[in-house]
Structure 1
Amino acid sequence: MITYLPYYLALGLASGFVAGLLGVGGGLVLVPILVWLFALQGFDPAHTMLLALATSLAVISFTAISSMRAHHAHGAVNWVMVRRITPGIIGGTLLGAWLADRLPGQFLHYFFVAFLFYAATQMLLNFKPAPHRELPGSTGLTLAGSIIGVVSSWVGIGGGTLSVPFMLWCNSKLHQAIATSAAIGLPIAMAGTLGYIASGWNVTTLPAYSAGYVYLPALAAVASTSILTAPLGARMAHRLPVAILKRIFSILLYALGIKMGIALI
């Protein structure tokens, strides 16, 4: 682990800055790089994707707290929606983590690559769905939360790539959708982390210092630096041409998706 510590620290710096600057949870960067680092360390290939997803969600559990507090301080979080969608979020995320350990072979790799291309295209085109309706009732929010939770657990993200478009479609204002998505990211990350810890608890072929599928040394290193750069990224978002940066970041996501896709061939 000591040999790879600088890589993990640098990954935390980069993912935290991107999360603060572009409003994404960092998981889209964390997961593919963690898969690569775990492979270099000789971890069992059957578990590298699950380890990456679980560790990414564990890191986001820390960064989501500071993000949520910052948005709450500006009074932008729709806490009524957060309370109503959270049961579905938690249920869906736990279900997704449980299913992930039971899905066939390379499914999660293919699913993640497909999601990378979706996220990159969404960011490149700056896609914002036209509002068509109001937020649904409790049943509708529970269903939406369940879907967001399952998908988020399979790609190791805080859900903003899904929840923000959903809230915009339901006529929420952009700043409120982003702030509320940040608050929703905390239960997603925490439930996903617990789910992956439980599903991997009795797996005997995981690396040392793992709690289920969460690789604790990587969690400690990445989280320690990401929480430092996330506020910096948030401040720079008001000074840099974010629209241009999003297009550049989308190209990075395409590159990561192509690299992971080629590795699956």
Structure 2
Amino acid sequence: MGDITLVEMGGLVLGLLLTGVLAGILAGLLGVGGGIVVVPVLFYVFALLDIDPALRMHLAVGTSLAIIVPTSLRSARSHYHAGTVDTGLLRDLGPALLAGVVLGIVLSAVVSGRFLTAVFAIMAVLVAINMARSSGPPKITGTPPAGALRHGIGTFIGSVSTMMGIGGGTLSVPILDALGYPIRRSIGTAAAIGTIISVPGAVGFVWAGWGADSLPPFSLGYVSLLGLAVIAPLTVLCAPFGVRLAMTMDTTHLKRAFAVFLFLTALSMLYSVLNG
């Protein structure tokens, strides 16, 4: 990006402020994970600021993972005290989740930004389709899987979530629900999964981007410290406002509208990959 001007710095801060407000309100209003909002918004904010296209998605993903750390810790603690975290399932999935996170970090360190963008966009299309459904995901089985299949699921959730820059909830809740886990247990356990993914994931993206050229100011590897400082507190502050809005309106149509927005955003990202 070179030497940043005062105007560019102001634009960056404004974009980060709007990202934090939007992510917080939508998280409270629709119950969506912040990462699914933060990553595409940051991707386009970085594009508007003419940050190197090779770095945009890596920065968006790494910054999102860092932002998720405090919120996932707080959420996991609340769910644990409420008794909705399945600690047995977490012990079983933990090693596979961590292995998936490591795999996701290593892949992210070597693949192009276009590849990371494609991964996010394709998975975001699937998330949008699931959100637009009037019911939850179709049930695959009424009996939760065990053994190698369970570990494979953990590795998949860990690796893909890391490469997308999202916490565990976006993928793990619908997957666990489809596999026969009670929804309240799925949500509570997903909060803890978010911590397992975000903490090593954020550290990994700092490592992966260490010494990279053309990083924007105040970056630590592929984590924008400015983005972390601005967005993280705003998501926490604005989420309760979204919750209050949700209590006064029917969010079904809003959720579907967000699903359409996410679907179109994902298609736009795919278009940028194919025509970049």
Q: Does TM, normalized by the shorter one, top 0.5?
A: yes
State the one-letter code of the partner of 2:211: N
Counterpart of 2:122? 114
The residue number in structure 2 matching 1:209 is 218
Quick check: 1:75 aligned with 2:97? Answer: no
Contact 1:84 1:138 in 2 (8 A): no
Q: Which amino acid aligns with 1:181?
A: A
What residue in structure 1 maps to residue 154 of structure 2?
Answer: 145
Contact 1:98 1:196 in 2 (8 A): no
Whether the 8 Å contact between 1:11 and 1:30 is mirrored in structure 2 is: yes
Pick which of 105-114 and 84-93 moved more: 105-114
**Unaligned runs of at least 5 residues, structure 2:** 1-8
The equivalent residue for 1:194 is: 203
Q: Does 1:65 align with 2:76?
A: no
Alpha-carbon offset, residue 142 of structure 1: 2.7
| Greater shift in the superposed pair: 221-230 or 61-70 | 61-70
Counterpart Cα distance in 1 of 2:90 and 2:247 = 26
1:98 aligns with 2:106: yes
CA distance in 2, matches of 1:139, 1:54: 29
1:246 aligns with 2:255: yes
The verdict on how the C-alpha distance between 1:32 and 1:78 changes in structure 2, with shifts beyond 3 A counting, is: same
Out of 34-43 and 46-55, give the one that drifted further.
34-43
Worse-superposed segment, 59-68 or 117-126: 59-68
| Runs of 4+ residues over 6 Å off in structure 1 | none
- Match for 2:240 among 231, 234, 243? 231
The residue number in structure 2 matching 1:36 is: 44
Deviation by residue 1:143-174 (Cα, 9 ceiling, x = unmatched): 21111011111211113232112212332111
Match of 1:53 in 2: 61
CA RMSD of aligned residues (A): 2.0
**Secondary structure of the corresponding residue to residue 54 of structure 2:** coil
Question: Once the 2 structures are TM-superposed, how far is the Cα of residue 68 of structure 1 from its aligned partner?
Answer: 2.0
Instruction: Supply the distance in 1 between the matched residues of 2:105 and 2:30 (Cα, whole angstroms).
Output: 26
Q: Does 1:88 align with 2:96?
A: yes
Q: TM-score when scaled to structure 2?
A: 0.88
The residue type paired with residue 251 of structure 1 is V
Match of 1:13 in 2: 21
1:239 deviates by: 4.4
Percent identity between matched residues is 37
8 Å CA contact retained: 1:15, 1:30:
yes
Please, which of 123, 141, 145 is the counterpart of residue 131 of structure 2?
123
Structure 1 position 21, deviation (Å): 3.0
Partner of 1:164: 173
